[in-house]
Chains A and B, each alone.
Chain A
Amino acid sequence: MAFNLTRRKFLQSASLAAVALPLSKAIASESGVARSPFEPVGSLGDTTVVGGICEMCFWRCQLIGKTRDGRLVKLEGNPKSIDNGTSICARGNAGIKLLYDPDRLKYPLKNVGERGAPKWKRISWKEALDECGQKLKKVTDKYGPQGTCIFPHGSTAKYPMHFFERTVGTPNVSEASFFQCRGIRDTAYLATIGKAPGEKVDMPNAKVIFLLGGHFGENVHVSHIKSYMKGLQNGAKLIVVDPRYSASAAKSDIWVKIKPGTDTAFLLAIMQYIVENKKHAIDFIDEYGDGFDEFAEAIKGWTVEKAAKECDVTVKQIKEVADMLADNAPNVSIHPGRHVSWYGNDFQRQRSLACLTGLLGAYYVKGGWVPAVGPKVGKTSWAHKEHEEEHNLNVNSDDEYLHPYTPPGTPTELIRDAALTGNPYPIKGCVIWGQNPIQTIPGQEKMKDVLRQMDFVMCVDVMPTDVTMWADILLPEVSYLERYDYIKTGTQWDFSEKHQQYISARMPMVPPLFERKDQVYITNEIAKRMGYEKDIPINSIEELVEKNLKVAGLSLEQLRKENGIHIREGKNPYQMPEDFEVIFYNEDIEDAGFPGAPTYVPVEQPPAGFARLLYGRVPVHTFNRSQNNVWLNHAMPSNPVWLNDALASKMGLKDGDEVGFINQDGFKSRTTTTVKTTPGIRGDCVYMGHGYGSANPLMSVGVNAGVDDTSLITKIAVDPETGAHGMRNNFVKFIKDGKIIDIPSAA
């Protein structure tokens, strides 16, 4: 406590005061305010460093840094940026706490204990690289290039991923960004409009913004949020479909409190209603549509009444949503979503969104889906090599695709099954680069078994994430603030403003500390040791960036002169390509054995006593990558579980009660969190933020903070068209004081 004056101290002080009084008075009157050394100086006087590209998440805002005595003390948005401007989010602002995190990996480490229960021994880079090179070569020699798998994430993982995929020839690549996130969206839109959609909706100029599960504010990407907010400020109506009253629902005009898993039924009914009432964009569909009649026929059964029952919403609300969309078409943003690996029926839902956009004529129009026309830069990397035998786990013995609409790489579950069974081939080498498959991929125990049976596991990361506990060799990487690499390109986000393009390359803001190295160094050194020296495409990361910038007529020196960002005239993004079409009914999908028109596949409902576990983003964390950041941890130290308040009172639970979980397979959470009771969530589900509950004691801040939602996702669902995971088909009960508490049925 601040105030702890004891009587004794008081008396002593008072007697001393008698001596001191005259002197102190004299001093006070002759001087003004002396600056206290405790008065922080602020960043105004610091040196500005340009060239930062954030990587606290994948959105990659452009930064400037403030350095004092060689130390980075603050990050800010680059004022020259036409993307994020001077803004960066909480995570961006907290970047310096990643940079100087005392828990960061510092030296190459060798596991002299067991996988999963490591004992780390510091070794030299030479020893580490020798071991990685020799072990991976041994695996390749014995099992072929298909004997290795790779789990990459982030901008440093591209270069090593290309080395293993293109040069060594391993087909077993599982990127979390595809198979546990957005891959389904991308291939569903590819099968509908021939393009991956990104999040390219022209929200600033929309009359209606439609979000299916999108929870902006909890999910933050700076220029995307700016674009959303501009739309709302410009008067766009907001429709949010979510079982939970999310941050976006709180700003919505219509909140559709949908039953989890039934989104496709809801979308089909909206489309059926629009077609039935001839409110669809008839001219647009005539010109750009394909298979519309078959599509209209296929969705006919989805009356609003049927969907209302299935989705547990009212007929009136479905009509209200459909009318609002149709009445404001084509200037409507049907948001394609991003993390869409939900229920294992997701390809069809994403197809529905793409078709709904077409039905409203909302492609390449103000407020619709509009892809920005950005500048081109080089893509220097490893060359594709010819390999004797092509291996693909996604093709069966009859040469048929198991998951024909897979995103790039190989579906994670096929890799894991092959590793565990040895069929069709063994997988004995594992390279994990920037990804944390333990807290990213459902089925943690299965992942651990996969890692246990490997001959060799290597990890490269900045932090000792949970998966690093499973490495044989653990290599420390430089962070995004200490290296060259990513070239960020784009345009201004409000297309009603002057069209501009920007190019900005990541440059180090401070030199690396300890023995951390970059991805080109590490990959090349391993390549040399595996016998691929002559295939090395570039000698340093700096050289790679220069080469890629040259394609755009730029150089690092030029970018530095331009304060880190080159800006030039842009192009009209509303110009529709000549060959553009919207395939409503897709025969190829039908030929591949799946429904050619968007189709609803019901999902399993929670058994009695359980509620569905839903998870989502909190604004201060990116996946599980930022959980050890001391500032971000302090902002949201745990991930309280949202529980419907009416059910909570039946269960005898109140706000702040400490609870754990048990799921339908009897798996118990390792840690606990607190209860948040609210009317803002349905009774058939509970919700928690993702990115908590690390199990690695080396993460001194994030370890055991909150509950790891991924640990409770033990039942594995796979989206049949894509092979990507569905992660919202697990059900939980609560545990309080060691007692299991059933969740009453919502009714």
Chain B
Amino acid sequence: MQYGMIIDLERCVGCHACTIACKAEWEVPVEFGRNWVYRIGPAMVGEEMASTYYPGLCNHCTNPPCVDECPADTIEMTFTDVKSGKKETMEVAATWKDPFDGTVQIDKSRCIGCGACADVCPYNARFIDPSQTDDVSDDGKADKCTYCKPRVDAGGVPACVQTCITGARIFGDLDDPDSEVSQYVKKGAKGIEPTDGELGPNSRYYGKKKDIDLLFSSHTPELADMTQVRRRAMLASMARPAAKAVKNLGLLGVIGAIAAKHSIDSESQD
């Protein structure tokens, strides 16, 4: 199974209901968004005038670069297929691709806030919420669209899909050939693949040719500069055990606690 979302640009009127519903559902800070709507144009596409929208969100890529770059400690995690009850155990860092539904998720309790995942995402679909600090991260936590996994697992639809005033957002299983999303893919709905990328974005766009041309020509991103991302991730990874230690303060004992406190205090003097 691979969940995906179709944005039908013939139907989308650019109203922003999706972005605001998401903010309400997931208490997203005012200055950030798990999804977005950009208006594009009016501009000339060849001889034709065109104007459309880029309603974007996490693409829950088939090959998500963010997952590979996460430098957090890995743990063994057991996943359960909501539908069949089947279980699978995988070694995952603080972000992973779900083996059953194909969504990309984050464990905020283990996220070290390094920003590598956000940096590597060519769509800017992730952000670091600096207000979310704990003993694992002083720098905030990564956040992004989850395809409303808790809602979907409970049998509902994503909040943006539910509120969409024109039915322009369609959610479903891309691996099921009979699903509405698969029908759209057959009609030509496609994801925005970065230049030379092979990420396999699963949020896909359908629309009039001139609108799709306008969207893709203006918003096809470059892949992230990996040297930069990796350098940061490496540094963050080296810092990681300290974060762990602080988290497990209770078990460290008095000496450890003093050491941890000292580390925090001296940092604040920098």
Contacts and interface: CB of A to CB of B under 8 A. Distances in A.
Q: Do A and B come from one complex?
A: yes
Interface of A: 1-6, 8-10, 12-14, 16-17, 19-21, 23-24, 27-29, 31-40, 42-44, 73-77, 84, 86-94, 96, 216-218, 220, 222, 225-226, 229, 232-233, 245, 247, 249-251, 255, 619-620, 630-632, 634-636, 678-681
Contact of A75 (B24, B73, B150, B262): B24
B19 interface: yes
A255 B49 contact: yes
Given A23-B251, A76-B163, A93-B163, A43 B13 contact: no
Contact of A44 (B19, B156, B270): B156
Nearest to A220: B15
Interface stretch (B55-63, B177-185, B198-206, B238-246): B238-246
A250 B51 contact: yes
B142 to A, nearest CB: 8
Contacts of A13: 238-239, 241-243, 263
User: 3 tightest A-B contacts by CB?
Assistant: A680-B42, A20-B245, A217-B13
Interface string B249-270: 0011001100110110011001
Given A23-B245, A23-B251, A250-B52, A619 B260 contact: no
A679 B49 CA distance: 8
Q: Is the interface of A mostly helix, strand, loop or mixed?
A: mixed
A33 B77 contact: yes
A24 B42 contact: no
7 contacts: A9-B270, A20-B252, A44-B154, A89-B17, A250-B41, A255-B49, A634-B31
Contact of B16 (A16, A38, A635): A635
A74 B107 contact: no
B251 to A, nearest CB: 5
Nearest to B156: A44
B115 A3 contact: yes
Select the residue from B10, B16, B30, B113 with max chain A CB neighbours within 10 A: B16
Contacts of A229: 11, 13, 166-167
B163 A20 contact: no
B241 A620 contact: no
Contacts of A92: 17
A634 B30 contact: yes
Given A226-B165, A619-B16, A12 B115 contact: no
A12 B263 contact: yes
B138 to A, nearest CB: 9
B130 interface: yes
Given A16-B260, A29-B75, A32-B77, 19 more contacts: A2-B113, A2-B128, A3-B115, A5-B236, A13-B241, A20-B245, A21-B244, A27-B251, A28-B73, A36-B109, A36-B111, A38-B108, A43-B159, A88-B17, A89-B16, A94-B24, A229-B11, A229-B166, A245-B42
Contacts of A39: 108-109
B15 A225 contact: yes
Nearest to A13: B242
A622 to B, nearest CB: 13
B82 interface: no
B4 interface: no
Contacts of B25: 40, 42-43, 74
Contacts of A36: 107-109, 111, 134, 141
B164 interface: yes
Contacts of A84: 165
Contacts of B10: 232-233, 251
B218 interface: no
Given A16-B245, A93-B21, A10 B235 contact: yes
A247 B270 contact: no
Nearest to B29: A634
A439 B151 CA distance: 42
Given A88-B163, A250-B52, A680-B42, A4 B259 contact: no
Interface in B164-220: 164-167, 211
B172 to A, nearest CB: 17
B171 to A, nearest CB: 13
A524 B138 CA distance: 56
Contact of A33 (B107, B132, B238): B107
Nearest to A620: B16
Interface in B107-142: 107-111, 113-115, 118, 128-130, 132, 134, 139-141
Select the residue from B108, B128, B262, B266 with max chain A CB neighbours within 10 A: B108
A44 B163 contact: no
A36 B132 CA distance: 10
Contacts of A4: 139
A10 B231 CA distance: 14
Nearest to B50: A250
Contacts of B154: 44
B44 interface: yes
B27 interface: yes
Nearest to A89: B17
Contacts of A679: 42-44, 49
A226 B166 contact: yes
Contacts of B211: 250
Contact of A10 (B44, B52, B239): B239
B241 A8 contact: no
Contacts of B51: 245, 247, 249-250, 680
Nearest to B142: A2
B99 interface: no
Contacts of A3: 114-115, 139, 232, 235-236
Interface in B55-109: 73, 75-78, 107-109
B221 interface: no
Given A13-B239, A23-B251, A87 B24 contact: no
Contact of B26 (A42, A225, A681): A42
A42 B148 CA distance: 9
Contacts of B20: 90-91, 93-94, 620, 631-632, 635
Select the residue from A6, A31, A620 with max chain B CB neighbours within 10 A: A620
Nearest to B244: A24
A34 B75 CA distance: 12
B242 A16 contact: yes
Contacts of A27: 248, 251
A255 B50 CA distance: 11
A3 B19 CA distance: 27
Contact of A8 (B26, B37, B267): B267
Select the residue from A10, A20, A680 with max chain B CB neighbours within 10 A: A20
A236 to B, nearest CB: 13
A34 B109 contact: yes
B115 A93 contact: no
Interface string B28-40: 0011000001000
Contacts of B232: 3
A32 B244 CA distance: 15
B187 to A, nearest CB: 14
Contacts of B255: 19
A24 B41 CA distance: 53
B230 interface: no
B108 A19 contact: no
B162 interface: yes
B248 A24 contact: yes
Contacts of A23: 245, 248, 251-252
A40 B108 CA distance: 10
A17 B17 contact: no
Nearest to A72: B24
A678 B24 contact: no
A600 B203 CA distance: 50
Given A36-B107, A217-B14, A77 B163 contact: yes
B147 to A, nearest CB: 12
Contact of B238 (A10, A34, A225): A10
Contacts of B30: 630-631, 634
Given A76-B162, A86-B163, A28 B75 contact: yes
Contact of B17 (A19, A29, A93): A93
A229 B73 CA distance: 49
